[in-house]
Amino acid sequence: MLFDEIVLRDMTLKNRIVMAPMCMYSAGGDAAATDWHRMHYAARAIGGAGLIVQEATAVSGEGRISSRDLGIYEDAHVAGLKSIVGAVHGMGAKIGIQLAHAGRKCEADVPKIYAPSAIAFDEKSREPVSADAAYIEKTVADFRAAAARALEAGYDIVQIHAAHGYLVNEFLSPVTNRRTDSYGGAPENRVRILGEIIDAVRSVWPESKPLSVRVTAEDYEPDGNHPEDIAAMLNLVKDRGMDCVNVSSGGVTPTAPKAFPGYQIPYAEIIRRETGLPVCAGGLVTEAAMAEEAVSHGRCDAVYLGRELLRNPFFPLLASVELGADIPWPAQYERAKPRR
């Protein structure tokens, strides 16, 4: 089943292997795409991934995680991003873009960083400014403008980054959101900004194209969010145009998860069951058999791979041989296809 097609709105993926968004820290000084990005993503498309989700791409200058992150906050960024899309499409894969704002975890050279509450990530980090109503409105508008540029660049799907302790995730988590206004406190308030961003993105992103949200399902803090909490908040906004959920964990605080192969798949199962939405799951998945088991047993609808696709861009092609799926290899590489 790992090599079955999956359909989201008008997007059909040739298989259920997804390349997870991973920062490359290789953008030019103007946050623009470089030859590295085109070659990096095209190689994974040649390797057979059904969907590639481009790394966190900032919706504003202060939304960058680092000064070497890609941006989509200026019209000048579109041409470079369009070249990445063209390279991936030319090699037979679909590509999405993760629209992101780093929040209090911004380490770029900017005058101020922002968060729902003025709480630093750790003792070595800058203290953020608590976002006022005007900044929240600006951020929602930044996501809308970024989605419009993503459409111009030709992406197949957009993903809103609401995970890993970045700005949207900071609003969702009670650990980082100590607000007493309409954006803090009860879950329906903490999820408000995500709903507003979905509305804004959907106002420019066509109905024919899918929209994904990446979430941190587990904060690894007693007073933080757990999978059931995230599922309940997603249920409050899912009908505003969300098509699928990419389930991750951690990053809200410096507390590190005890990671093991497939450690995030159980979180995805809960969110899939509680929301009824298709989910993409992963977490140190390195074996074809594990990916197949997760999909074929209904734990998730697709599997994302990160580090394994950095090590081995051709994982999907080799997994097809291991699992006995007869899929076409690139003609140029056909002679290297193992025969069973």
Q: How far is CA 79 from CA 32, 33, 86, 110, 155, in A?
A: 9, 9, 11, 24, 12
**pLDDT value of position 248:** 98
Q: In the chain, what are the domain boundaries? A: 6-336
Q: What are 102-112's pLDDT values in tens digits?
A: 999 999 999 99
Q: For the segment 174-187, what is each residue's pLDDT rounded down to a tens digit? A: 999 999 999 999 99
Q: How many CB atoms are closer than 10 A to CB 26?
A: 15
81, 72 Cβ separation under 8 angstroms: yes
pLDDT band at 298 (very low <50, low <70, confident <90, very high): very high
Residue 245 pLDDT exceeds 80:
yes
CB 116 within 8 A of CB 137: no
N-to-C CA span, the chain: 19
Which percentage of the chain shows pLDDT scores above 90?
Answer: 99
pLDDT tens-digit readout, 125-147: 999 999 999 999 999 999 999 99
Tell me if 70 sits within 8 A of 55, measured CB to CB: yes
Report CA Rg, the chain.
Answer: 19
- The predicted pLDDT at position 258 comes to 92
Cα–Cα distance for residue pair 139/63, rounded to 1 Å:
9
Is 340 a residue whose pLDDT tops 90? no
User: For the stretch 308-340, what's the b/e string if a residue is b when 16 or more beta carbons lie within 10 angstroms of its beta carbon?
Assistant: bbeebbbbbbebbbebebeeebbeeeeeeeeee
CATH numeric code, 6-336: 3.20.20.70
Q: Is the pLDDT of residue 87 over 90?
A: yes
Q: How far apart are CA 291 and CA 318, in angstroms?
A: 13
* Phi, psi for residue 55 in degrees, rounded to 5: -50, 160
The predicted pLDDT at position 219 comes to 98
Would the pLDDT of 56 be above 80? yes
Q: Are 211 and 245 in contact (CB under 8 A)?
A: no
| Dist. CA 322–CA 338, nearest whole Å | 9
Question: Tokens for 149?
Answer: 């540029």
Please give the mean pLDDT across all residues of the chain: 97
Q: So what's the pLDDT on residue 339?
A: 83
Residue 240: per-residue pLDDT: 98
Task: Give the tokens for residue 138.
Answer: 């600006």
Is pLDDT at 165 greater than 90 in this prediction?
yes
Q: Which residues pair with 160 in a beta bridge?
A: 99, 213
Instruction: Identify the pLDDT of residue 332.
Output: 96
* DSSP codes, 105-165: G--SS-S--EESSS--SSTTSPPPEEP-HHHHHHHHHHHHHHHHHHHHHT-SEEEEEE-TT
Mean pLDDT value of segment 11-35: 97
CA angle 144, 148, 151 (to 5 degrees): 140
The one-letter amino acid code at 314 reads F
pLDDT for the residue numbered 211: 98
What is the spatial distance between Cα 18 and Cα 20, in angstroms, rounded to a whole number? 6
Q: Quick one: 124 exposed, middle or buried, by C-beta within 10 A (0-12, 13-18, 19+)?
A: exposed
CB count in 10 Å sphere of residue 240: 15
Contacts of residue 50, defined as CB under 8 A and 6 or more positions apart, other chains included, come to 6, 13, 14, 15, 16, 17, 18, 93, 94, 302, 316
Cβ atoms of 71 and 101 closer than 8 Å: no
